[in-house]
A and B are shown apart, each in its own frame.
Chain A
């Protein structure tokens, strides 16, 4: 399996886009080495703004830059980029519907060593609830590249959550990313699995295991959490015995929440969530170990599917 780093893909794509589009500016809160915006800083020092350890100011400054025609990309760790700055994102950026792109790097549990303070398990919920905000969760490096290009192409406030670690590559680098589209990665008629981010690769592993047991799953990459297109969700839920939603996020308010809200007055088969069960993160010596600790594994997905099959 080919693996690639999402942060690196993100940073390089910004550089590539910055060559063509002079309106792109980049802001970072003293984490440019980690978020990989240092690549943009090296390429276009006049369009890179070091915003130091002052995230709230950074978001409102980005709003000001957008108001004079720039396309600011703003960076910090996901937990700070969304939590500490929630009010600035809501008030300075989203009410005015400004073209500010917020990148939450080292999202989810991917900053495995730093523990609860640095792990973001609520960021999708926080961003999703704000009107005008688009929420994007790429599954791998290729999808990250295509997504960043789409973020420049489309106007409006957007949040993208970027994993810190190398992840298996499942998405083709060809074609354009369409915001709001659900991408089918595998077809099957028994169970529907909807996932995003790191959980896409876990689900793909699980589906191999399930196939050996004679269970065929339909796998959907919901890398746009908002806007979710109802007609697409309805198309994919047809005919399956159950639905599993897998995300590296709290089961409250994330992708699972979004889908269940959408299905509130639609008849659908039973649902299972694979996600973080209303807990904070914790330090671990590696990412795999931490994902296992919280039950975000192919085995957990297999078992969720089996529960639905048994009924």
Chain B
């Protein structure tokens, strides 16, 4: 049983990450608010609890790997890297500018802590498969975690990677589907409806768990459970809310890649700060 203090601390961190996301989106500039905030709780658990990493040494050899196949959601990962000290805090206001190191999509050569260049959808899961294969070949115990979007599951390459991971029985690979239900132009079931997701992965030989992607305790317990599953790749289908934590943006496709007004920005900041204040 994970102690309540740990859960509460991670909940606080997840709020902090959302505040950082808000800072990076800023006022009057476009930013992927919705798809960054939907998996922020998962990022909080992985970076601040689960993964074996050393923020002082981003290239620490035995680190677990975190990949963001849905690269447009980079702001949540950037927030974690800022809070852990990989990235200087002042970089946040320079997001997506020529003078900054935070690109619109993750870039390993420009940003410390980023493992691969992702964002052309469908490729990150394959890159994760390659990392898992290579680490296993070297007899290493590191794990590879990869966040995949639900809309991204329409990419054919995802299913090539799904079959490949099963063929090689990659039990050092954990995929997490950020199932926020919305893609850029609308609900995923009104596009190439990917539902039901779980039986598709099961049919391809993966170990599947479905969770509430905003329930910190459930995220931790599921990730711990997966450590004991051997001989097959694993996927967590995390039911999430796009725009989670931003009252006006929740479940609203308009906030996929949105411009915030000053009023929206201040309201979001007020709401998040009020919640953080409740904790302290």
Q: Closest approach, in angstroms, between the C-beta of B208 and any C-beta of chain A?
A: 20
Can you name the residue of chain A whose Cβ is closest to the Cβ of B132? Answer: A64
Residues of B within 8 A of A60 (CB): 123-124, 126-127, 129-130, 157, 161
A49 within 8 A of B: yes
Kindly state the interface size class of chain A when it binds its partner: 20 to 34
Establish whether residues A65 and B131, one from each chain, have CB atoms under 8 Å apart when the complex forms.
Answer: yes
Contact with B along A70-97 (1 / 0, CB 8 A): 1010000000000000011011100111
**A92-B117 contact in complex given A57-B157, A60-B127, C-beta closer than 8 Å:** yes
A42 within 8 A of B: no
**A64-B120 contact in complex given A25-B137, A57-B161, A96-B109, C-beta closer than 8 Å:** no
Residues of A within 8 A of B135 (CB): 68
B160 within 8 A of A: yes
Residues of A within 8 A of B152 (CB): none
A47 and B124 alpha carbons, distance in the complex (Å):
22
Residues of A within 8 A of B130 (CB): 60-68, 72
B167 within 8 A of A: yes
A94 and B155 alpha carbons, distance in the complex (Å):
21
A51 within 8 A of B: yes
Establish whether residues B123 and A91, one from each chain, have CB atoms under 8 Å apart when the complex forms.
Answer: yes
A92 and B138 alpha carbons, distance in the complex (Å):
22
Residues of A within 8 A of B127 (CB): 60-61, 63-64, 67, 92
Report which B residues bind A (CB closer than 8 A): 107-109, 115-120, 122-124, 126-135, 137-138, 156-157, 160-161, 163-164, 167-168
Establish whether residues A88 and B123, one from each chain, have CB atoms under 8 Å apart when the complex forms.
Answer: yes
A69 and B138 alpha carbons, distance in the complex (Å):
10
Can you name the residue of chain B whose Cβ is closest to the Cβ of A85? Answer: B157
Establish whether residues B133 and A96, one from each chain, have CB atoms under 8 Å apart when the complex forms.
Answer: no
Establish whether residues A64 and B126, one from each chain, have CB atoms under 8 Å apart when the complex forms.
Answer: yes
Residues of B within 8 A of A63 (CB): 116, 123, 126-127, 130
**A67-B116 contact in complex given A92-B127, A95-B107, C-beta closer than 8 Å:** yes
Q: Closest approach, in angstroms, between the C-beta of A57 and any C-beta of chain B?
A: 4
Establish whether residues B138 and A68, one from each chain, have CB atoms under 8 Å apart when the complex forms.
Answer: yes
Q: Closest approach, in angstroms, between the C-beta of A28 and any C-beta of chain B?
A: 13
Q: Closest approach, in angstroms, between the C-beta of B107 and any C-beta of chain A?
A: 7
Establish whether residues B126 and A61, one from each chain, have CB atoms under 8 Å apart when the complex forms.
Answer: yes
Establish whether residues B133 and A65, one from each chain, have CB atoms under 8 Å apart when the complex forms.
Answer: yes
Among A47, A56, A72, A91, contact of B156 (Cβ-Cβ < 8 Å): A56
**A56-B126 contact in complex given A64-B134, A69-B134, C-beta closer than 8 Å:** yes
**A96-B117 contact in complex given A49-B133, A56-B156, A68-B138, C-beta closer than 8 Å:** yes
> Can you identify 9 A-B contacts, CB atoms within 8 angstroms?
A49-B168, A56-B156, A57-B126, A57-B164, A59-B126, A61-B164, A64-B134, A95-B117, A96-B107
Can you name the residue of chain A whose Cβ is closest to the Cβ of B144? Answer: A64
A70 and B117 alpha carbons, distance in the complex (Å):
17
